[in-house]
């Protein structure tokens, strides 16, 4: 499969934002996305909003932001993959740096989450990315490849789609983004790692860029080789900010 055969995916990560009063915003995003069939669009909303969001926009991809690695059990406060599916989600994020940091999630745990989610029928966006000191030390690529080594699911056979999101931690919510060369080098390294890891099945794995993506920088980011879409935080909360990013992906 060539890069051209991987449709772009633009996914919004609402993080801890979103109330029922925001369902109208989701409806606007879903309706506009329907008119852009060349790009896949999804919104990963807080777990308690998944069911209402999925009911409000049938056929539009609603996702969660995390799942527990166990299918069920004594895990107070956690959400399982089957619960997300039952609520109407079709995908979930795992391994976001905010969870790796605040909840001390290891690569091993992220892998277990991804494998459970895929086995239950959820598509997965698996996040990786380096902190600033690692970027400055010149060790970003080796660090991200080590994260992938530890957290990629072992097999994709018969599973829903997997995407990897490269999100440099220092670019999240800061307005800073890596240079085009830095994104290209990282995505090429991730592409090779995925192709080596999964052989032919790896070609279907999309590699998203995340971190301060906006309508203004999206066209240049999507023009970079091996960038198959974006994972968008702040700019996914409002249709007026998010849709220009979706349109930029559709224009590629
Ligand atoms: P921002 O787009 O707000 O920088 O967030 C990126 C992110 O963390 C998406 O998961």
- pLDDT, residue 34, reads 96
Ligand 1 atom nearest to 212, measured from its CA? 4
- pLDDT, residue 2, reads 43
Q: Is 182 a catalytic residue?
A: no
Q: Are 194 and 165 in contact (CB under 8 A)?
A: no
Q: What angle do CA 20, 26, 31 make, to 5 degrees?
A: 145
Q: Best mutation site among 14, 101, 211, 235 for ligand 1, i.e. most ligand atoms within 8 A of its Cβ?
A: 211
What distance in angstroms lies between residue 13's CA and the mean position of ligand 1's atoms? 7
As to burial, measured by CB atoms within 10 angstroms (0-12 exposed, 13-18 middle, 19+ buried), residue 251 is middle
Q: Is this model's pTM higher than 0.85 or not? A: yes
For the chain, list residues with pLDDT below 70: 1-4
- pLDDT, residue 146, reads 98
Q: Best mutation site among 9, 212, 244 for ligand 1, i.e. most ligand atoms within 8 A of its Cβ?
A: 212
Q: What is the DSSP letter of 56?
A: H
- pLDDT, residue 108, reads 98
The single residue listed with the structure tokens 């979930």 is 92
C-alpha span between 110 and 146 (Å, rounded):
13
- pLDDT, residue 252, reads 87
What distance in angstroms lies between residue 74's CA and the mean position of ligand 1's atoms? 31
Q: Which of 25, 109, 167, 247 is catalytic?
A: 167
Nearest to 79, CA basis, from 66, 88, 61: 66
Alpha helices by DSSP H, the chain? 23-34, 47-56, 81-87, 97-102, 107-120, 132-136, 140-151, 180-198, 218-222, 239-250
- pLDDT, residue 3, reads 45
The binding-site residues of ligand 1, defined as CB within 6 angstroms of any ligand atom, are 13, 96, 167, 172-173, 210-213, 231-235
- pLDDT, residue 121, reads 98
- pLDDT, residue 1, reads 38
- pLDDT, residue 251, reads 95
Q: Is 75 a catalytic residue?
A: no
CA of 173: how far to CAs of 11, 104, 167, in Å?
16, 20, 11
Residues of the chain by 3-state class (helix, strand, coil), percent to 5: 50, 15, 35
Phi (first) and psi of residue 179, to 5 degrees: -70, 165
What distance in angstroms lies between residue 173's CA and the mean position of ligand 1's atoms? 6
Q: What residue's CA is closest to ligand 1, atom 1? A: 233
């Amino acid at each position: 499969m060539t890069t051209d055969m991987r449709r772009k995916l633009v996914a919004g990560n609402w993080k801890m934002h979103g109330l029922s009063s925001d369902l109208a915003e989701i409806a606007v995003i879903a309706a506009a996305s329907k008119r852009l069939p060349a790009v896949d669009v999804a919104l990963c909303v807080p777990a308690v909003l998944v069911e209402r969001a999925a009911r409000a926009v049938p056929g539009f991809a609603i996702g969660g932001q995390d799942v527990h690695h166990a299918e069920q059990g004594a895990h107070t406060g956690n959400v399982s993959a089957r619960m997300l599916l039952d609520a109407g989600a079709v995908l979930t994020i795992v391994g976001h740096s905010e969870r790796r940091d605040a909840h001390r999630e290891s690569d091993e745990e992220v892998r277990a989450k991804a494998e459970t989610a895929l086995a239950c029928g959820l598509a997965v966006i698996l996040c990786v990315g380096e902190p600033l000191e690692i970027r400055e030390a010149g060790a970003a690529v080796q660090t991200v490849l080590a994260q992938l080594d530890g957290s990629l699911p072992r097999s994709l056979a018969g599973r829903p789609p997997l995407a990897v999101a490269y999100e440099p931690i220092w670019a999240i919510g800061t307005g800073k983004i890596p240079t085009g060369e830095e994104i290209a080098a990282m995505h090429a390294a991730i592409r090779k790692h995925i192709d080596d890891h999964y052989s032919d099945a790896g070609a279907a794995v999309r590699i998203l860029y995340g971190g301060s993506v906006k309508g203004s920088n999206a066209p240049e980011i999507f023009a970079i080789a091996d960038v198959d879409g974006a994972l968008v935080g702040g700019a996914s909360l409002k249709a007026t900010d998010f849709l220009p990013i979706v349109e930029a992906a559709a224009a590629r």
